[in-house]
């Protein structure tokens, strides 16, 4: 008997690429620094690690 139930590439790819979208990144309007956006925390409550400006989207 043949098993035709095996699919190649069943591993989950852990690609942490850069993607804009909901819950993606916050951008500093002053210096352009991007930081990963934490879920539940609005970007405008996050300070830029470089210049201290409030982040935006
Ligand atoms: Zn900045």
pTM of the model: 0.56
For 1-35, the pLDDT digits (tens) are 666 766 666 555 544 444 444 558 999 999 999 99
Residue 45 maps to a domain:
yes
Residue 57 maps to a domain:
no
Q: How far does residue 35's CA lie from ligand 1's centre (Å)? A: 10
Region of residue 31 (phi > 0: left; psi between -120 and 50: alpha; otherwise: beta): alpha
For 38-50, the pLDDT digits (tens) are 888 889 999 999 9
The pLDDT value recorded for residue 54 is 96
Residue 1 maps to a domain:
no
Distance CA 17, CA 31 (A): 22
Q: Which domain holds residue 32?
A: 22-52
**CB-based contact 28:34 (threshold 8 Å):** yes
- Ion ligand 1: residues, CB within 5 A, are 28, 30-31, 33, 48, 50-51, 53
The pLDDT value recorded for residue 8 is 67
Q: How far does residue 36's CA lie from ligand 1's centre (Å)? A: 14
């Amino acid at each position: 008997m043949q098993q035709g139930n095996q699919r190649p590439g069943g591993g989950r790819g852990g690609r942490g690429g850069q993607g804009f979208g909901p819950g993606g990144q916050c951008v500093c309007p002053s210096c352009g620094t991007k930081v990963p956006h934490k879920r539940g925390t609005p970007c405008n409550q996050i300070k830029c690690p470089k210049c201290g400006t409030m982040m935006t989207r």
